[in-house]
Structure 1
């Protein structure tokens, strides 16, 4: 766990996965925002099979759900295998694809699975082959939505998410001593992992914290875990600028 601005109060706990938080943490340092950083999960590359590469080559459309999906595939697959139209759930993922492949990527304004399914290019796709590049598990909404329109959807798994072996009760005590007031979480998986990690005896403290979350679906999950709705701030999406805007807003309220 890393900490910054220890001479000041440390109101924010950042839980983004290792490797995905660097830009956000740099912006918090520049803005003199006190925080602790503790990733709860780590991503690991999964070997892509020859069958996976064949599926990519034969696809009529390829959807990437995250930056990790892009970076893990990039390390294993030649760019020539990806000649189909490309889609990304979020802008950060689209930018990673553009840096790698140098071609256009369709990305929805609503940077969620729901937004992706609203793209005009994905409305008339009966009989088309769509490949979704993702990690282990995850939402089924994209597949369900496209299959309902007559498409064939297959997954290529390029990475997996693994929980870090952490001492939750000890970490929770450190967070309380540091004066953490707000926890920033960017996925339902991390949200659930946090509650599992600290154990029943510390869940009441989690319920007393403010939360920055990134979707209505996460908000509903948090409420189901016992977090009061008024303690939840929804960032516009999960990218660094949206998270920074939400953190800055709460920082002003805390002063």
Structure 2
């Protein structure tokens, strides 16, 4: 963390997913606090999960955790179908494991994935989505509307870290946090669950960098004003860094 009298940015990406962003912030001299709110734990695969991977017409991975927790349980030879990843970091993890082409959208969100030409004509096809125990419902909805059968393979689960929300909120206020960077609805909701109701007004007054219109809708429902929300172009590190850098210039 860069040393300065005021620390305007709070980064909440899960541990293991924030390293590149934090390194870039350090390089650019942007002060921040880093506080992950959730962690992940592997979920054991069922026999039918392996069969689905073998039989699917396409396999979509939603995160690096989805890849790593599957890799530790499945032989690479099982995966012969075309591979898709929501983001570039996930695609790189797949390529390191399987040494195969992975299709990734320029818009590294569920919305961008659904715009890929390879996923337009999927009627009658079976698509496996490797993910955690919740999330990314938009992908299923979009593909089912095109006639695909979508099946989930849950290779990991998310767990909230045992944190003292009242103490953290006090520390964030004392540090001078002005902007909170949240990259999933789960993280956004967890912040409001952690912080006592009496302190949630402070959360609502902060600036927020979010990564999708769906997150923006959730933020508005939590009482965050639209003028306090910045949507990053993508959910990847470079897009987050660009949004943070722009706000820093405004500060």
Q: TM-score, normalised by structure 1?
A: 0.94
2:63 to 52, 66, 74: 66
- Residue 210 of structure 2 corresponds to 213
CA distance in 2, matches of 1:243, 1:107: 18
**How many Å apart are 1:98 and its aligned residue?**
1.5
CA distance in 1, matches of 2:230, 2:97: 34
- Residue 234 of structure 2 corresponds to 237
**How many Å apart are 1:109 and its aligned residue?**
2.2
- Residue 144 of structure 2 corresponds to 147
Residues 143 and 7 of structure 1: CA distance in aligned 2, closer, same or farther (over 3 Å): closer
- Residue 187 of structure 1 corresponds to 184
Secondary structure of 2:14 counterpart: coil
**How many Å apart are 1:91 and its aligned residue?**
2.0
**How many Å apart are 1:115 and its aligned residue?**
2.1
Matches within 5 A, 1:72-87: 72-87=69-84
2:156 to 137, 140, 159: 159
CA distance in 1, matches of 2:203, 2:114: 34
- Residue 57 of structure 1 corresponds to 54
**How many Å apart are 1:211 and its aligned residue?**
0.8
1:127 to 113, 124, 127: 124
1:175 to 172, 187, 191: 172
Q: Is the 8 A contact 2:108 2:236 kept in 1?
A: no
Secondary structure of 2:167 counterpart: helix
- Residue 97 of structure 1 corresponds to 94
- Residue 10 of structure 2 corresponds to 13
**How many Å apart are 1:160 and its aligned residue?**
0.7
The count of aligned residue pairs is 251
**How many Å apart are 1:34 and its aligned residue?**
1.0
Residues 185 and 80 of structure 1: CA distance in aligned 2, closer, same or farther (over 3 Å): same
Q: Is the 8 A contact 1:8 1:34 kept in 2?
A: no
Structure 2 unpaired stretches of 5+ = none
How big is the alpha-carbon RMSD for the aligned residues of Structure 1 and Structure 2? 1.3
Secondary structure of 2:111 counterpart: helix
CA distance in 2, matches of 1:174, 1:50: 47
